[in-house]
Amino acid sequence: MGVEGIGASVVRKEDKRFITGKGRYVDDIKLQGMTYAHFIRSPHAHARVRGIDASAALKMPGVVAVLNGKQIVDDKVGNLICGWAITSKDGSPMKMGAWPAMAPETVRFVGQAVAVVIAESKNLARDAAEAVVVDYEELPAVANVAASIKSGAPQLHPEAPGNQVYDWVIGDENAVNGAFAKAANVVKLDLTNNRLAPNAMEPRSAIADYDAAEEHFTLYTTSQNPHVARLVLSAFYNIAPEHKLRVIAPDVGGGFGSKIYIYPEEMVALWASKRVGRPVKWTGDRTEAFLTDAHGRDHVTHAEMAFDKDNKILGLRVKTYANFGAYMSLFSSSVPTYLYATLLSGQYNIPAIHAEVIGVYTNTTPVDAYRGAGRPEASYLVERMMETAARQLKVDPAELRRRNFITQFPHQTPVIMAYDTGDFHASLDAAMKAIDYAGFAARKAKAKSEGKLRGIGLSCYIEACGIAPSKAVGSLGAGVGLWESAEVRVNPVGTIEILTGSHSHGQGHETTFCQLVADRLGVPISQVSIVHGDTDKVQFGMGTYGSRSAAVGLTAILKAMEKMEAKAKKIAAHALEASEADIVIENGEFKVTGTDKSIALPMVALAAYTAHNLPDGMEPGLKESAFYDPTNFTFPAGAYICEIEVDPSTGKTNFVNFVAADDFGRLINPMIVEGQVHGGLAQGIGQALLEHAVYDANGQPVTASFMDYTMPRADDLPSFKLSHTTTLCPGNPLGIKGCGEAGAIGASAAVINAITDAIGKNNLEMPATPDRVWRTIHAA
């Protein structure tokens, strides 16, 4: 592998700028003549906008303009769209309510913008916003699934009777009914998957700069996928044709899904920049992030699992209500359907599965993909179900899982996915060994003698990553292909630039992507640069989410490298008067195998660009590009086991140990992979113990700052013990499965299984706060 090649824990190239304060985030950028936007947002969950009086604000110092929803609609800026079409079981298309970038008539969640002040400074914009008077007529609101589906409930959108987005089904209902008819045991479970706020540490920000002479826009924005942003802004929101819109996503301070989407603030900044003729900057504060960044999760589910007399699973029946919030965000429709229900087989042989998912509108912030996106909800359901079943059937939870593990691959589940490879026994073995599962009973007894309740919880997760084979997702309703593109430029002096459509917002691409080049060419990573995040530089790209950047993005780089290497070998062979087939690349040199003849990469590159002596008919230059479309999803899987201790007098949970055994296929940089797992685990544990985006019955958010919403902090979490088992992914040449979401997908169930084991009661909702745990312990 070499010291900087594949498999080496190389320290990150990008770190120097971050640790010295030289990172360049959107809010750090200042443009000449820049103005500042401040949005006026609805304080009501549901209201009619009767009028907006900006006359006083317009007279205030430094105010450039006050613009409203009617104007943006009149200027024909398009409504926000959801780009994945889902069809209900009755054959009807999903019901998409109109979502203008600022509300001209009706607001449907607290925080929805109705107007924007543009001023000479942030403070002046904020001052003037205070002077804008909006006349609202309050309407009754629905704040949760139960209220939304009640007959006679207030209605959000004329397009969606009964507040229903869709009623979608997957699987064979008759086969499932048959399985339950012959079952020896049936296990039932009701659970809620709590709503979360993504909370990347960098608040969203956008700077729009319109050049009237060129009729050209530049948008600096906090995006995980700048090319997708340009595509959507051009094709659907009528901002500008693609060649007149450059989108730059520089350093981005975390995303976790929330920065995939194109938000109203970006659209308004672009539109306003043209109207006022100056650059417009908007940077959200944390409360705006809570109110407007797409939330995650929020499911209410009833599930039943049928077992035969030998505790083998016969079937699974699931009914889930998914809360979409007030509008359908960009990829929201796919999350509780194709990213959720297709993973309901978990790591298990389940002959029959049927799931029904009903999507509903509520007067809350829109919900979309948040780290894991549908797969944490599936994993939580399946793994809570396995634990519940083990308790009901009185078998060891590890044994019940082992009895039902899939062991033959490829394995076709009844819910679309074809698992390509895996070894679920191996990861469970590794996790059980790491936590000394056999010694748990003795530890539990000792804790009991000290007045503490000790519990252990398992979670054997699987996810579908490497998103995604374009043809497959197209057949399921996706509006885009999910391939990735890359370009390899060898400069005339032999340095290398890799241009990628993936976007790094913490994942370390500037290091790991160089490692592939170092591995193949034997050059130091200091000789390689990664270029990303700018639609004017990179040919195209679908961005970073769904644990796709290594499995899809890096494979695209590999494909471009192969093309470049093939040409370079021809040039080397020509220069060395050898056969192309005899050329091998080692330590930055092209060598004639079995001889001492060689030519260094810079000389090959120089030859390519001077073009004085190239093989006949060869084009000058050494630059190649590739588009790579995966043939299947990848299937990272693993086993997490958590041992906790609950203090019955306070309900407080303390971690004793948390072990993770993951199978991600090939690891490029184990240090970075482990960092990804740590972060994912923290988010999964945060969901289980601390985090909850709460609305009152009127749709008022009551957790809209870090004072109210409990973010995991250093003293809430343990150190993690990680290990890896490996089955290489057969679907891509590098054997990579992806690692970005696993922790968030697998951790929650392990924690709740452990707490419910400790307290001896199975019904416990997330987040398992001390108050909730104490009440559960002491409930009659």
Binding site for other proteins (CB under 8 A): 11-12, 14-25, 27-28, 30, 123, 199-203, 251-254, 256, 285-287, 505-508, 671-672, 674-675, 678-683, 705-707, 711-715, 717, 719-720, 743
Q: How far is the CB of 495 from other proteins (least distance, A)?
A: 22
Q: How far is the CB of 511 from other proteins (least distance, A)?
A: 10
Q: How far is the CB of 594 from other proteins (least distance, A)?
A: 42
d(CA 85, CA 99): 16
Q: How far is the CB of 64 from other proteins (least distance, A)?
A: 18
Q: How far is the CB of 141 from other proteins (least distance, A)?
A: 26
Between 27 and 387, name the residue whose CB sits nearer to other proteins.
27
Q: Do 695 and 109 form a contact (C-beta atoms < 8 A)? A: no
Q: How far is the CB of 742 from other proteins (least distance, A)?
A: 12
Between 31 and 426, name the residue whose CB sits nearer to other proteins.
31
Between 232 and 681, name the residue whose CB sits nearer to other proteins.
681
Please report the sign of the dihedral spanned by the C-alpha atoms of residue 596, residue 602, residue 603, residue 607.
positive
Amino acid at 701: P
Q: How far is the CB of 544 from other proteins (least distance, A)?
A: 12
Q: How far is the CB of 681 from other proteins (least distance, A)?
A: 6
Between 40 and 672, name the residue whose CB sits nearer to other proteins.
672
d(CA 153, CA 646): 41
Beta-bridged to residue 701, according to DSSP, are 695
- Within 8 A by CB and 6+ apart from 561, the residues are 488, 516, 517, 520, 624
Between 457 and 679, name the residue whose CB sits nearer to other proteins.
679
Between 125 and 473, name the residue whose CB sits nearer to other proteins.
125
Q: Which residues of 281-293 are buried (b: 16+ CB within 10 A; e: fewer)?
A: bbbbebbbbbbbb
d(CA 547, CA 501): 14
Neighbours of 280 (CB within 10 A): 27
Between 660 and 752, name the residue whose CB sits nearer to other proteins.
660
DSSP 438: G
- Within 8 A by CB and 6+ apart from 560, the residues are 486, 487, 488, 624, 625, 626
Q: How far is the CB of 546 from other proteins (least distance, A)?
A: 17
Amino acid at 21: G
Please report the sign of the dihedral spanned by the C-alpha atoms of residue 683, residue 689, residue 690, residue 691.
positive
Q: How far is the CB of 745 from other proteins (least distance, A)?
A: 14
Q: How far is the CB of 222 from other proteins (least distance, A)?
A: 10
Between 24 and 471, name the residue whose CB sits nearer to other proteins.
24
Between 395 and 671, name the residue whose CB sits nearer to other proteins.
671
Is the peptide bond preceding residue 410 cis, with omega within 30 degrees of 0? yes
Q: How far is the CB of 58 from other proteins (least distance, A)?
A: 21
- Within 8 A by CB and 6+ apart from 331, the residues are 82, 83, 84, 260, 261, 368, 369
Beta-bridged to residue 49, according to DSSP, are 136
Between 315 and 686, name the residue whose CB sits nearer to other proteins.
686
d(CA 220, CA 534): 9
- Tokens 């399985």 belong to which residue? 179
Copy the structure tokens of residue 304: 């039943």
Q: What angle do CA 99, 341, 427 make, to 5 degrees?
A: 125
Q: How far is the CB of 131 from other proteins (least distance, A)?
A: 17
Count the helices and strands in the chain (H runs, E runs): 20, 28
d(CA 204, CA 502): 19
Hey, which bits of 361-514 come out as E strands?
Answer: 411-412, 418-419, 453-462, 484-490, 496-500
Q: How far is the CB of 22 from other proteins (least distance, A)?
A: 7
Between 159 and 285, name the residue whose CB sits nearer to other proteins.
285
d(CA 697, CA 435): 43
Between 258 and 347, name the residue whose CB sits nearer to other proteins.
258
Between 199 and 320, name the residue whose CB sits nearer to other proteins.
199
CA dist 485 → 212, 226, 553, 681 (Å) = 32, 13, 7, 30
- For the CA atoms of 449, 452, 453, 459, the dihedral, rounded to the nearest 10 degrees, stands at -120
Between 225 and 337, name the residue whose CB sits nearer to other proteins.
225
Q: How far is the CB of 411 from other proteins (least distance, A)?
A: 31
Q: How far is the CB of 46 from other proteins (least distance, A)?
A: 27
- Within 8 A by CB and 6+ apart from 373, the residues are 257, 296, 335, 339, 545, 546, 741
Please report the sign of the dihedral spanned by the C-alpha atoms of residue 391, residue 395, residue 399, residue 405.
negative
Q: What are phi and psi of 34, to 5 degrees?
A: -70, 140
Between 252 and 601, name the residue whose CB sits nearer to other proteins.
252
Hey, which bits of 120-239 come out as E strands?
Answer: 133-138, 164-171, 185-193, 205-211, 216-221
Copy the structure tokens of residue 125: 């914009």
Q: What are phi and psi of 482, to 5 degrees?
A: -125, 40
Between 122 and 570, name the residue whose CB sits nearer to other proteins.
122
Amino acid at 38: H
Between 11 and 184, name the residue whose CB sits nearer to other proteins.
11
Copy the structure tokens of residue 147: 């209220």
Between 163 and 199, name the residue whose CB sits nearer to other proteins.
199
Q: How far is the CB of 261 from other proteins (least distance, A)?
A: 18
Is the peptide bond preceding residue 468 cis, with omega within 30 degrees of 0? yes
d(CA 454, CA 441): 9
Q: How far is the CB of 704 from other proteins (least distance, A)?
A: 10
